Amino acid sequence: MTQCRLKGQAFRRHTTPQHAAQHRARRVPPRPKPDKQTEKEKGNTMKHILPLIAASALCISTASAHPASEPQTQNETAMTTHTLTSKYSFDETVSRLETAIKSKGMDIFAVIDHQEAAHRNGLTMQPAKVIVFGTPKAGTPLMVKDPAFALQLPLRVLVTETDGKVRAAYTDTRALIAGSRIGFDEVANTLANAEKLIQKTVGE
């Protein structure tokens, strides 16, 4: 034990400050100097990341400001459907329309009585009849040009009675041809004239 202390004392006596500094230098590795190239790469990375963060924030705020589209509203539907209040009773309005349609050389393909169909099934509803009409001479060329346009033909007019008022409703001509290959000039003297006929018959 005494020998160990003596050796330690001898070591401390013979160790100079220079030796001690060298000894510490060997024990503590020097800190690596910052790599200028690495710092430059980090700077470039941040330049690319910041715009992405800003764009993401903009997308989130835009999505919040403009929620997902809602289903078609009643107002939007009303823009494609014209509803007229008739001056006549329900049955008289239906009769007048049928007479006017035939007077123009058009065919009545069907008259759908929704109220009667409801009664047959034990249900009740307001009076409602749909007159399905047209003429092959006018409709056939349109369906040849655009086969899908057959979904819009024949023409239809609804006569119904609610709250003590008789109304006639039909689809606007421009709405009928919207999204098809048919131009308005091709139906101006046919489908559009049928629209005018309904207006005149119900309003006179």
Question: Amino acid letter at 27?
Answer: R
Beta bridge partners of 83: 169
Q: What is the pLDDT of residue 189?
A: 93
139: CATH: 3.30.310.70
In tens, the pLDDT along 124-179 reads: 999 999 999 999 999 999 999 999 999 999 999 999 999 999 999 999 999 999 99
Bridge partners, residue 127, by sequence: none
Residue 107 lies in a domain: yes
Does some domain include residue 49? no
Integer Cα distance of 87 and 78 in angstroms: 21
Work out the burial of residue 133: count CB atoms within 10 Å of its CB; fewer than 13 is exposed, 13-18 middle, 19 or more buried.
Answer: buried
The answer on pLDDT for 192 being more than 60 is yes
Q: Is 9 inside any structural domain?
A: no
Model confidence at 203, in pLDDT bands (50, 70, 90)? confident
If one counts the domains in the chain, the total is 1
Quick check: pTM over 0.75? Answer: no
Question: How much is the pLDDT for 40?
Answer: 54
d(CA 158, CA 181): 26
Domain that holds residue 105: 78-203
